[in-house]
Structure 1
Amino acid sequence: MTIRVLVADDQYLVRAGFRMILSAEPDIEVVAEAADGLSTLSLVRETRPDVCLLDIQMPPPDGLEITRRLAAGGSPGAPKVVVVTTFDLDEYVYTALENGASGFLLKDAGPALLVEAVRAAARGDALVSPQITLRLLRHFSHGQRRAQASRPAEQLTEREREVVRAIARGLTNPEIAAELFIAPSTVKTHVTSVQAKLGARNRVEVAAWAFRTGLVS
């Protein structure tokens, strides 16, 4: 199945670069580009993309507000959002994830990570740039979001613990599958089970739980 992507950024060269990278993939199609928030919302309604790549700082509404609006709609067909920015600020990361983003990347993350973030979002996973993941987890492990991820590890199977350790190291589902010699679909099943057991909304919260409880150090 082809993943339909909308790219929103107020810089033409950034949009052109993302389009070139994503269009080279056989399973991804860039269906629209937008330079401001209002155009983005209009094009989402017109083109119904599967994934939106949103810059944070563009003419209003900005990427964080658009993310909130799309998530608040609650529609089963609402696109997943990956926020892509040059600004490595904790406030932006937390707000993007709180607003329902399925990923947060820095613009210098590289083509491979950009493509994987789009595929992860389409699968229902969350992907965060490795350079900010540890700092984000450090924030979570100092008392934030305890209600979502405070349950004991005993309820996880040994295989699920292996998957959690891999998630905490930043591995994607295909990488986990290769390391554990299991099918990617099996990894996805384990991840879904882990999130349900821990009350975690995404992979970042699963990893934060692993660090906080000592499953990984």
Structure 2
Amino acid sequence: MSAAIRVVVVDDHPVFRLGIAGLLSSLDGIDLVGQADGPEQARARIDASVDVVLMDLDLAGESGVVLTRELVSAYPDLKVLVVTMHEDDVSVLAAMRAGARGYLLKSSPPDRLERAIRSVAVGDLIVGHGVADRALSYVSAPPAGRAAAGPRPFPDLTDRELEVLDLVARGMGNAAIAQALSLSEKTVRNHVSNLLTKLAVRDRAGAVAAARDAGLGAGV
């Protein structure tokens, strides 16, 4: 018999966390080995022996995206399955960039959660129906949002500036871009200022128009 999947639940809402814990405790082949109400407890209870972490994105004092990135970096074999109320583009993109292997909404039925845990534990990438289309658009988009065919747009821009421009063309503000790319807002502002200069446009609207003319901002 294969070893049970060792799971830790990280969520600062006690009712939801305890409900999930109760569900997991009833499932064969899944071993609930810990619960955490925030980053500090999570760091204390997660080590290399844990297979899957169920991660909320809203944690007291810290983002679940930041904690996901930290844990995946520390334990490369760890699989993080985000379970959250957020289905917006920024949250999906930020979680996947941080290394999450799955993304479900808290409204997902118990059997869907069980299947997702078993799937990510063996290395599959899982997204719930509510976020599948936008996740697919990020996975299938060419690097830095460039057009699928033809030369690289705006060769004077660095790869990072091109990536920022693509997100600007998607309608994201600086705070959202900072979260998605794991940058500070100041760094994003600097990138935006630089790309405006290089594109010879006066403002953000001009950058959006130029980017979309070049095929960036796909999916908006």
CA contact under 8 A between 1:84 and 1:107: conserved in structure 2? yes
* Cα-to-partner distance string for 1:66-122 (whole Å, 9 max, x where unaligned): 11012222x45x421001101111111111111110100100011011111111111
| Equivalent AA in structure 2 for residue 14 of structure 1 | F
Task: Provide the rounded CA distance (Å) in 1 between the counterparts of 2:65 and 2:97.
Answer: 10
- The correspondence of residues 59-138 of structure 1 with structure 2, limited to 5 A, is 59-73=60-74, 75=75, 78-138=77-137
1:153-207 CA-partner distances (Å, limit 9, x unpaired): xxxxxxxxxxxxxxxxxxxxxxxxxxxxxxxxxxxxxxxxxxxxxxxxxxxxxxx
Query: Quick one: distance in 2 between partners of 1:136 and 1:145?
Result: 15
Q: Which runs of 4+ in 1 moved over 4 A?
A: 139-147
Alignment of 1:151-166 (within 5 A): none
Distance in structure 2 (CA, Å) of the matches to 1:125 and 1:142: 20
Displacement after TM superposition at 1:143 (Å): 4.3
Letter in 1 for 2:51: D
1:4-83 superposed matches below 5 A: 4-45=6-47, 48-73=49-74, 75=75, 78-83=77-82
Cα distance, 1:146 vs structure 2:
7.1
Larger proportion of helix: 1
How far apart, CA to CA, are the structure 2 residues paired with 1:106 and 1:69?
A: 22
Identity of aligned residues (%): 33
Q: Report the 3-state secondary structure (helix = DSSP H, G, I; strand = E; otherwise coil) of the residue aligned with 1:131.
A: coil
Unaligned runs of 5+ in 2: 150-220
Deviation at 1:141, TM superposition (A): 4.6
Deviations 1:17-70 (A, max 9, x none): 11122111110011111101111111103x832110010001133211111012
Aligned to 1:195: none
**Higher radius of gyration, 1 or 2:** 2
Match of 2:183 in 1: none
CA distance in 2 between counterparts of 1:4 and 1:37 reads: 19
Q: TM-score, normalised by structure 2?
A: 0.60
TM-score with structure 1 setting the length = 0.61
RMSD: 2.3
Distance 1:16 1:96 in 2: 23
Q: Structure 1 residues 145, 113: closer, same or farther in 2, change over 3 A?
A: farther
